[in-house]
């Protein structure tokens, strides 16, 4: 049930229901960190939340169609451009890119330069399981480790202006990106045990704009019930 209420509490994490995501696993990961997950149901909610998660495990076309149908694309794009705490997971990372070979003719959000292409080489597609993550020195959130992936497509090259973690499945691909308070993971941190929990905790605690967002005057917005 949706209801008008004032949110911007520092313990709340807004989750965007793309229609192609397992929201419960994401919500449970934040509950384990002592946070309150909330499903967002408006562009105002996306704009006003201190922390926003863009999850997804389905198709590029389906995810973008849902964001555009609900009028949420511009609000997400603005958050990323401003470097506000925003987390893209799996398909969420791909939606931030310009386009995908999975859905020719369907533009992405365009926040990250580059086109998503199908995994290739000797690895089985889709990639389902644990794989290594190699993070750059000096990254605020990303750390090297073993994490869980479920993907058939990849961003092949590190985009300019982003700290980039890489992995390999048949060929090298972008496994994680960060810039300002924005973190995007091709893997699933919510399914990656202690490594994933540590990553989520760092994102919550160390986002450069997290404290400012939490302390800013609250604004009315609409959110759905707790996940």
pLDDT in tens, 42-75: 999 999 999 999 998 889 999 999 999 999 999 9
For residue 2, pLDDT over 80 is answered with no
- pLDDT score, position 203: 98
For residue 156, pLDDT over 90 is answered with yes
For residue 142, pLDDT over 70 is answered with yes
Give the pLDDT mean for 68-87.
96
Residue 52 and residue 38: Cα distance in Å, rounded?
A: 9
Which tens digit of pLDDT belongs to each residue from 159-176? Answer: 999 999 999 999 999 999
For residue 221, pLDDT over 60 is answered with no
- pLDDT score, position 210: 56
Which residues participate in catalysis according to the annotation?
Answer: 90, 188, 190
- pLDDT score, position 123: 79
Which DSSP helix (H) or strand (E) runs through 185? strand 182-185
Instruction: Find all residues with CB under 8 Å of 46, minimum gap 6, and list them.
Output: 14, 16, 40, 52, 72, 75, 76, 79
Nearest CA-CA partner of 182 in 140, 146, 120, 124: 140
Which tens digit of pLDDT belongs to each residue from 193-211? Answer: 999 999 999 999 999 765 4
**Prediction pTM value:** 0.88
- pLDDT score, position 20: 65
Which tens digit of pLDDT belongs to each residue from 182-193? Answer: 999 999 999 999
- pLDDT score, position 18: 83
- Give the model's confidence band at 8: pLDDT under 50 very low, under 70 low, under 90 confident, else very high: low
Task: Quote the percentage of the chain above a pLDDT of 70.
Answer: 86
- pLDDT score, position 213: 46
Residue 32 and residue 23: Cα distance in Å, rounded?
A: 14
- pLDDT score, position 57: 81
For residue 21, pLDDT over 80 is answered with no
All domains of the chain in start order, with CATH: 3-226 (3.40.50.880)
Q: What is the mean pLDDT of the chain?
A: 88
Tokens of 160: 């300019």
- pLDDT score, position 225: 40
Is cis: bond before 135, omega within 30 of 0? no
Residue 97 and residue 89: Cα distance in Å, rounded?
A: 13
For residue 3, pLDDT over 60 is answered with no
Residue 122 has phi, psi (to 5 degrees) of -90, -10
- pLDDT score, position 10: 67
- pLDDT score, position 227: 40
The DSSP secondary-structure symbol of 70 reads T
């Amino acid at each position: 049930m949706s209801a008008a209420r004032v949110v911007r509490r520092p313990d709340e994490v807004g989750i965007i229901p793309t229609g192609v995501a397992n929201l419960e696993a994401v919500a449970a990961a934040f509950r384990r960190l002592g946070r309150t997950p909330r499903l967002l149901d408006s562009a105002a909610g996306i704009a006003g939340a201190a922390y926003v998660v863009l999850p997804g495990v389905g198709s590029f076309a389906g995810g973008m169609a849902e964001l555009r149908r609900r009028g949420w694309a511009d609000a997400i794009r603005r958050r990323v451009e401003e470097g506000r705490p925003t987390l893209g997971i799996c398909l969420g990372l791909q939606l931030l890119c310009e386009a995908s070979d999975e859905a020719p003719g369907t533009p992405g959000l365009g926040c990250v330069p580059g086109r998503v292409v199908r995994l290739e080489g000797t690895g089985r597609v889709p990639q389902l399981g644990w794989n290594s993550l190699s993070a750059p020195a000096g990254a605020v959130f990303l750390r090297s480790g073993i994490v869980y992936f479920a993907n058939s497509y990849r961003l092949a090259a590190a985009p300019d202006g982003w700290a980039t973690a890489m992995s390999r499945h048949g060929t090298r691909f972008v496994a994680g990106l960060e810039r300002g308070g924005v973190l995007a993971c091709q893997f699933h941190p919510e399914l990656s045990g202690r490594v994933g929990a540590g990553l989520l905790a760092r994102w919550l605690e160390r986002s450069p704009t997290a404290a400012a967002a939490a302390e800013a005057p609250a604004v009315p917005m609409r959110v759905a019930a707790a996940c």
